Amino acid sequence: MSLTDSLFGRPLATSEERAEHVGVAAGIPIFGLDALTSAAYGPETALSLLIPLGVIGIQHLIPIVSAVLILLGIVFFSYRQTIAAYPSGGGSYTVASENLGTGAGLVAAAALMIDYILTAAVGITAGVGAVVSDQPWLQPHTMLLCMLVLVFLALVNMRGVKDTGAAFMAPTFLFVGTVLATVVVGVFRVFAAGGHPVALAEMPHTMPATIGYLSVWLALKSFSNGCAAMTGVEAVSNGVMAFREPRVKNAQMALTVIMGTLVIMLFGTAWLAKQYGIMAMDPEHQGYQSLLSLIVMAVFGRSWFFHFTMWSVFLALTLSANTAFADFPRVTRAVAMNDFLPHVFILRGRRLLFSHGIYALTALTAIILLMFGGNIDSIISLYAIGAFLAFTLSQAGMVKHWQKQDASHKGRGWHMFVNGTGAVATGATTLIVLAAKFTSGAWFVALLIPTLILLMVAIKQHYTRVRGEVVEQAPLNLTNLQEPLVVIPMARWDRMTEKAMRFALVLSKEIKVVTVNCDDGEESLCEIWEENIAKPIRDKGLPEPELITLHSTFRLVVSPLMDYILEVEHQHPDRKITVLLPELVVKHWWETLLHNQRVQLLKLLLLVRGNQRIIVVNIPWYL
């Protein structure tokens, strides 16, 4: 087995696609890990803004998390309907494009792509942050760890959906199991202590209050931060086609398990934080620990279970970026199918994946990590806006979808109500999140979305122009057929140029051999032209090629050749100009460095500065 097969798996035939489909158990880690792991940081991001309230701030966590859960429930029922209505994959882009128009679809696509990039970055940084909390000596190596995790995720995802699900199943259920165990044991101890539990490890002291009450604005900002727990819930509706039959039922079941588990973990950790009186720590504070790690310490102490849980959180959070790797290529493919992204995103790779989407996501995530130094607090300020904008457009599109159905359609009114409620709720949340996070970095996302839309529109215009120029529906045009005028750039006479000359003699009766600075000497082309080239051609009764010598004062070669070819093209407006380029093809890539690349440069210039009447033909000589 080759190294490539060991890393990425053997190539899969198109007929093997069905075997790559997954069931509910594998679908949960592939499409739900991002949503599930938000329980590790969702309550903390909401509570961190309440630190100025001191101990009182902890009391406001439950109402804020409850508001997030209500919104989560609305979105859950909305996406169950979307899955049923779009069994071939009902992502925001598809739903918005088909029901609200191209403009809304592009907004949804831009928002989704940005959100998936940030999802990958947040998942990786949160996971590395979890292990740094357990092993502080790793903090100086945070960026290196982030990059290693990113490369690992890319390699695993290149093996295909089925292998990815198998690889991530154990870490997913390990994370869910440890967090649920913490919630269950914590709840038991709270009731066993009569509502006044004692932490089994020393908790950090809560900072004294600097403000006296919770303002509406602070509550909205805390709610907007807590909404980070909802990112990733759309992933299942995007990836319906990855599930095995019955596809809709399996996708809906996976979504139900993901949402039900997430609700328990979010509310359970928030409730335990209130009961144990645990306030989130300032990330800049020395000895910072995440809220989840403090809750686990309070329930189990700094025991083996604490370390075990932290490592499971690290694994799950870092792998949660896989949701982006699962869905980003699907979104880019859908957009590229409509000519708004390069068509390379449509191509399937060796493992039946849209590999170029994975390449793009890996590169863009690396850029985000480098820009923000692997700091989750800096990245998370950009987070959730794209997701909620996509939610809103998807739900509004579904309302329009149900309106198009016949009035006798069973449950049409109820479906419209559910999706309409989802559209209003997520739309209002989008405005809250945008306003609350605008100065913290949301302005960047708000600016990036229209920029990305303009780029997609420009790509569409390019493909439209190309299609208009090259698509031909008429019969073959056989008028004005004639031999081309052949030009051969030639520095010396050897086997490569002989091969080019033989082909030229077959191709045309008018051949121009062009050389630059024909110096004196035995090896000079000018010296051997008559004996080795012109005379054998005349003896054979063939038209004699014309030798053109160009003089270059400053020893330039490519530029004079290019100017001459363009001049010949200008002098013969009714002829095709065929340029034959003799080229050495080496066996090993490093041997290329041993030879000049004038042919490559001339070829590039001919393609850039040429036109429809200049034809470039490679004449390869294989070593």
Instruction: Name which residue leads in pLDDT, 439 or 297.
Output: 297
Please choose, from the candidates 437, 174, 446, the residue with its C-alpha nearest in 3D space to the C-alpha of residue 319.
174
Tokens 């990958």 belong to 120
> Which of 144-158, 199-213, 401-415 reaches the highest mean pLDDT?
144-158
pLDDT tier for residue 14 given thresholds of 50, 70 and 90? very low
Domains contained in the chain, number: 2
Read off the CATH number of the domain in which 25 is found.
1.20.1740.10
pLDDT at 560 over 60: yes
Instruction: Indicate if 198 and 253 belong to the same structural domain.
Output: yes
Instruction: Indicate if 191 and 71 belong to the same structural domain.
Output: yes
In a domain, 150, yes or no: yes
Q: What's the rounded Cα separation, in Å, for the pair 553 and 566?
A: 20
Count how many residues are written for the chain. 623
For the chain, percent of residues with pLDDT exceeding 90? 24
What does the pLDDT look like over 464-476, one tens digit per residue?
Answer: 998 888 776 778 8
Instruction: Indicate if 457 and 489 belong to the same structural domain.
Output: no
Q: What's the rounded Cα separation, in Å, for the pair 67 and 71?
A: 6
Q: Which residues contact 221 (CB under 8 A, 6 or more apart)?
A: 49, 436, 437
In a domain, 474, yes or no: no
From the CB of residue 532, how many other CB atoms can be counted at a distance below 10 Å?
A: 12
Residue 7 token pair = 């890393």
Instruction: Indicate if 389 and 512 belong to the same structural domain.
Output: no
Our CA angle for 339, 344, 350, nearest 5°, is: 140
pLDDT tier for residue 15 given thresholds of 50, 70 and 90? very low
Q: What is the mean pLDDT of the chain?
A: 83
Number of H helices, E strands in the chain: 25, 5
What does the pLDDT look like over 601-621, one tens digit per residue?
Answer: 999 999 888 888 999 999 999
List the domain range (segments joined by +) for residue 65: 21-464
Instruction: Indicate if 454 and 511 belong to the same structural domain.
Output: no
What does the pLDDT look like over 157-184, one tens digit per residue?
Answer: 776 655 566 667 888 889 999 999 999 9
From the CB of residue 59, how many other CB atoms can be counted at a distance below 10 Å?
A: 13
Residue 337 token pair = 């199918």
pLDDT at 544 over 80: yes
Read off the CATH number of the domain in which 596 is found.
3.40.50.620
What phi and psi, each to the nearest 5 degrees, are found at residue 150?
Answer: -60, -45
What pLDDT, on a 0 to 100 scale, did the predictor assign at position 209? 64
Tokens 């036109």 belong to 611
Q: Is 581 helix (H, G, I), strand (E, B) or coil?
A: strand
Q: Is 619 helix (H, G, I), strand (E, B) or coil?
A: strand
Which pTM value belongs to this model? 0.75
Instruction: Indicate if 587 and 448 belong to the same structural domain.
Output: no
Q: Which residues contact 544 (CB under 8 A, 6 or more apart)?
A: 534, 537, 538
Q: What's the rounded Cα separation, in Å, for the pair 465 and 51?
A: 56
Instruction: Indicate if 450 and 501 belong to the same structural domain.
Output: no
Instruction: Indicate if 84 and 186 belong to the same structural domain.
Output: yes
From the CB of residue 617, how many other CB atoms can be counted at a distance below 10 Å?
A: 15
Q: What's the rounded Cα separation, in Å, for the pair 608 and 380?
A: 43
H or E stretch covering 511: strand 511-516
Residue 410 token pair = 């069973």
pLDDT tier for residue 20 given thresholds of 50, 70 and 90? low
Q: Which residues contact 447 (CB under 8 A, 6 or more apart)?
A: none
In a domain, 235, yes or no: yes
Instruction: Indicate if 312 and 416 belong to the same structural domain.
Output: yes
From the CB of residue 565, how many other CB atoms can be counted at a distance below 10 Å?
A: 23
For the chain, percent of residues with pLDDT exceeding 70? 90
Our CA angle for 73, 384, 209, nearest 5°, is: 90
Beta strands across the sheet bearing 546-550: 546-550, 511-516, 485-489, 577-585, 614-622
pLDDT at 276 over 80: yes
Residue 29 CA, chain-centre distance (Å), reads 18
What pLDDT, on a 0 to 100 scale, did the predictor assign at position 6? 55
Instruction: Indicate if 453 and 497 belong to the same structural domain.
Output: no
In a domain, 480, yes or no: no
Q: Which residues contact 330 (CB under 8 A, 6 or more apart)?
A: 89, 91, 238, 239, 241, 354, 357
Instruction: Indicate if 269 and 169 belong to the same structural domain.
Output: yes
Q: How far is CA 164 from CA 22, 246, 315, 574, in A?
A: 10, 21, 14, 59
pLDDT tier for residue 146 given thresholds of 50, 70 and 90? confident
In a domain, 476, yes or no: no
What pLDDT, on a 0 to 100 scale, did the predictor assign at position 619? 93
Boundary residue ending a domain (433, 464, 495): 464
In a domain, 477, yes or no: no
Average pLDDT over residues 261-289: 84
Instruction: Indicate if 544 and 584 belong to the same structural domain.
Output: yes
Q: What's the rounded Cα separation, in Å, for the pair 194 and 269?
A: 19
Average pLDDT over residues 400-414: 81
Average pLDDT over residues 294-318: 86
In a domain, 438, yes or no: yes
pLDDT at 460 over 90: yes
pLDDT at 246 over 50: yes
What does the pLDDT look like over 489-539, one tens digit per residue?
Answer: 998 899 999 999 999 999 999 999 999 887 655 567 888 898 999 999 999
In a domain, 6, yes or no: no
